[in-house]
């Protein structure tokens, strides 16, 4: 059980950190990357302050080897424009390897959440479909979403809601 928890925590950390851009003046804290419920479910709430600080330090350094100081000076992503229309295009066809790390767009119309295979239509003209498990219920009009490119797929985040789901682009 403990080995499964550690594996889950590491997987969660990788999913949360990959593609996440944090402000340079604010230290990374795992509690900013997950909901209170997720923090409790993973068992991270059982860590003492020193253990939590050590985990946050590891999380901040993950994927940033010491031999790559340029990563620390990487500029924040620019605001999304129509030039980002190729984002996720390799899922539709071959190509688009020089896409941005993330895009921000809005859902068209009333958004009620997702529940397995949900199709998302965005104001930028793209269509994505839920590719990971999970469900989330809400009711929002034209909410903003952020889609981040990770090493192993794309993660849709609903800012301010603490909700994320893996997606893939279909158009």
Q: Which residue has the higher pLDDT, 80 or 146?
A: 146
Q: Do residues 109 and 141 touch, judged by C-beta distance below 8 A?
A: yes
- Residue 108 CA to residue 98 CA, distance in Å, equals 26
3-state SS, 15-71, equals HHHCCCCCCCCCCCCHHHCCCHHHHHHCCHHHCCHHHHHHHHHHHHHCCCCCCCHHH
pLDDT tops 70 at residue 10: no
State the pLDDT at residue 157.
94
pLDDT(5) > 80: no
pLDDT, tens digit (0-9, with 9 covering 90-100), for 95-127: 455 778 899 999 999 999 999 899 999 999 999
pLDDT of residue 18: 44
pLDDT the model gives residue 78: 45
């Amino acid at each position: 059980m403990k080995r499964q928890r550690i594996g889950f925590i590491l997987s969660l950390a990788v999913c949360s950190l990959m593609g996440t851009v944090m402000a340079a003046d604010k230290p990374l804290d795992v509690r900013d990357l997950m909901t209170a419920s997720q923090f409790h479910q993973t068992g991270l709430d059982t860590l003492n302050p020193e253990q939590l600080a050590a985990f946050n330090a590891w999380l901040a350094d993950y994927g940033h080897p010491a031999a790559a100081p340029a990563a620390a000076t990487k500029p924040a992503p620019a605001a999304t424009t129509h030039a980002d229309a190729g984002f996720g295009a390799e899922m539709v066809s071959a190509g688009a390897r020089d896409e941005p790390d993330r895009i921000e767009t809005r859902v068209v119309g009333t958004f009620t959440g997702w529940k397995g295979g949900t199709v998302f239509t965005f104001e930028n003209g793209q269509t994505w479909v839920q590719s990971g498990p999970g469900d989330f219920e809400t009711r929002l009009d034209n909410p903003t979403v952020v889609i981040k490119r990770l090493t192993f797929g794309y993660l849709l985040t609903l800012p301010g809601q603490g909700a994320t789901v893996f997606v893939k682009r279909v158009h």
